[in-house]
Amino acid sequence: MLNWSRPDNPFVPGVPLTDTYRQPGVVLTDRRFTVPLDHDDPSGETIELYAREVVARDKADQDLPWLLYLQGGPGFGANRFVGKPAWLGRALEDHRVLLLDQRGTGSSTPANRQTLPLRGGPAEQAGHLTRFRSDSIVRDCEAIRPQVTGGAPWTVLGQSFGGFCTVTYLSTAPEGLDTALITGGLPSLDAHADDVYRAAYPRVERKVAAHYARYPQDVERARRIADHLLTHDVVLPNGYRFTVEAFQSLGRMLGSGEGSHRLHFLLEDAFVPTPAGPALSDAFQEEAQGLLSFAGHPLYALVHEAIYAQDARPTAWSAERVRAEFPQFDAAKALSGDEPVLFTGETIHPWMFDCDPALRPLRETAELLAARTDWTPLYDPARLAANEVPVAAAVYHDDMYVDTAHSLATARAIRGLRTWVTDEFEHDGVRTGGPRVLDRLLALARDEA
């Protein structure tokens, strides 16, 4: 087998391969780190973390402070940028940036249906996955920071779940932080998952109402698709069992800046005529399966509710249980009358582990995680109340994914935190807003605004 890192690689005779390369305006370096799987057992098993270092090409030789980016999720690797889009260009004006693939994601040691059986059965897999929450991620960051910065504290930018991790960072290792910047990711410090979802379903209903107000033709289109799925057994090309609940879950798109428009375009050509009658088109099914599949981010489904678990109370499929308190989300009931079919949001349900081929082998593992009663706290209110790290947070008004009231309560609980509450952006404002969001947060953190 060819070793691509060898200097005698025949594809580039006499030229050693390097982990540093260029894109328009930037210099990139691939970096890999070894960290303990369990930080309480530093001499035990290790895993690998991958991160991409980015620096502006005209500053590549300068000694710049570091900014660590923590991606949203859980379960997503860091953005694969080309050049300096979104917030990155602003960050590169005065920082080197480290785009970290959090443990189990991206190019870091994976955790998915293919690799988890190496741990043993479902019980062993579930135990393994308890180490993939924000507390372990923060300890990873602290383990690699000396290798990156030489020991100096760094600025952390946390988007969504990355913001949750940042609040854990402020709770457990503030000495590692020069500045903390949070976008759409101020979690409740003490809410159980049930509290999170009881607050979420009404927000989702408002987002769906706003979508139908913008695109009233989608009311009938969604009803027609839902009726078809209730009366037909539809399996998507990748083997995903396409149920009406799965269709409704496409509403998670409504939490992003362009999501309503993308959902509209998805619905407008859902059906084609066939000899057997109208059927969901191949194009619609292809796009739907890409939106529904967890193949690229299974940790999102496995540990999503666990990010809200901090005591002996199990999550117990919280989103599914709480949904029953909101009967207006029952598609069959809506179709029996004249009500619109409501989409749902960023929620994980047990049926997903039956429908999705990427999740089916992990159903029992997910059940064990949902029943777990030994979760440990992720935040330290006393330490946050005494915080001395400059912190700024963008709170998106009526954010579909993170409750605004929960975020503002946490903002008041973190000493010195400055908030920017805005309805100009949805949850992905740090991406769609270009440099403006990061620029505003840096100004707030530096007391320049």
pLDDT digits (tens, 9 = 90+) for 406-435: 999 999 999 999 999 999 999 999 999 989
Among candidate residues 93, 115, 105, the one with its CA nearest the CA of residue 51? 105
Question: Residue holding tokens 């308890």?
Answer: 130
Which residue among the candidates 171, 260, 427, 428 is catalytic per the annotation? 427
Residue count (the chain): 449
SS3 assignment, position 14: coil
**Which residues in 15-51 are b (16+ Cβ under 10 Å) and which e?**
eeeeeeeeeeebbbbebebebbebbeeeeeeebebbb
Task: Give the number of C-alpha atoms closer than 13 A to the C-alpha of residue 287, restricted to the C-beta side.
Answer: 15
Name the strand (E) or helix (H) holding 292: helix 282-292
Q: How far is CA 347 from CA 13, 200, 253, 400, in A?
A: 52, 9, 12, 11
SS3 assignment, position 185: coil
CA distance linking residue 34 with residue 353, whole number of Å? 31
At residue 343's C-alpha, the angle toward residues 365 and 259, to 5°, is 100
Tokens linked to 327: 């009967």
What is the predicted pLDDT for the residue at 8?
37
Tokens linked to 95: 């920082």
pLDDT in tens, 239-276: 999 999 999 999 999 999 999 999 999 999 999 999 99
In order of their start, the domains of the chain are 20-190+379-445 (3.40.50.1820), 193-371 (no CATH)
- Report the chain's mean pLDDT, rounded to a whole number: 95
SS3 assignment, position 157: strand
pLDDT in tens, 35-90: 999 999 999 999 999 999 999 999 999 999 999 999 999 999 999 999 999 999 99
Tokens linked to 51: 């991160």
CA distance linking residue 140 with residue 103, whole number of Å? 8
What is the predicted pLDDT for the residue at 188?
98
Which residue among the candidates 108, 134, 136, 160 is catalytic per the annotation? 160
Tokens linked to 83: 């050049």
At residue 173's C-alpha, the angle toward residues 172 and 174, to 5°, is 110
Name the strand (E) or helix (H) holding 156: strand 154-159
Beta-bridge mates of residue 157: 69, 181
Whether residue 160 lies in the annotated active site: yes
Whether residue 374 lies in the annotated active site: yes
What is the predicted pLDDT for the residue at 18?
54
Which residue among the candidates 41, 61, 338, 374 is catalytic per the annotation? 374
What is the predicted pLDDT for the residue at 394?
98
